[in-house]
Amino acid sequence: MEKQKFIGKTYEEAVNNAMISLQENEENLIIKKLSEEKGGLFKASKVEIEVIEKRNVLPEIKNYIVNILKLSGFTVNIEVKNKETIPTLTIYSDNDSLIIGRNGKNLQALSIITNQYIQKLIGKSYKFILDVNSYKEKRDEHLENLARKIAREVAKTKIEVKMDSMNSYERRLIHAYLQKENVKTKSEGRRLIEQNGMSLNDEKIKDVKFTLNDNTLGLLKLGKKKFYNIVKK
The whole-number pLDDT of residue 85 equals 77
- What does the chain come to in residues? 233
Q: For residue range 164-215, list pLDDT tens digits in order.
A: 666 666 667 676 766 766 666 555 555 555 556 667 677 776 665 555 555 6
Kindly report the backbone phi and psi dihedral angles of residue 227, in degrees, each rounded to the nearest multiple of 5, phi listed first: -130, 140
Cβ(79)–Cβ(90) under 8 Å? yes
pLDDT computed for residue 189 by the predictor: 53
On the 0-12 / 13-18 / 19+ scale of CB atoms within 10 A, 100 is buried
Model-level pTM greater than 0.75? no
Work out whether strand 88-93 and strand 129-132 pair parallel, antiparallel, or are unpaired. parallel
Flag residues of the chain having pLDDT under 50. none
Helices and strands, number each (H, E), in the chain? 7, 10
* CA dist list (Å): 211 to 44, 83, 114, 142, 171: 46, 34, 22, 28, 15
Q: What one-character DSSP code corresponds to residue 209?
A: T
Q: So what's the pLDDT on residue 26?
A: 92
Report pLDDT digits (tens) over 34-49.
999 887 777 889 999 9
Give Cα separations from 228 to 52, 201, 216 (angstroms). Answer: 42, 10, 12
**Contact in structure between 208 and 191 (CB atoms under 8 Å):** no
Q: Catalogue the E-assigned strands of 38-104.
A: 46-53, 76-81, 88-93
pLDDT value, residue 66: 95
The angle at the Cα of 229, spanning 224 to 231, to the nearest 5 degrees, equals: 155
* Cα–Cα dist 23/15, whole Å: 12
At 116 the pLDDT is: 92
Res 144: pLDDT = 78
- Distance set, CA 110 to CA 115, 125, 230 (Å): 9, 16, 22
Q: Residue 10 to residues 19, 35, 36, 39, 86: CA-CA distances in angstroms?
A: 14, 11, 8, 10, 31
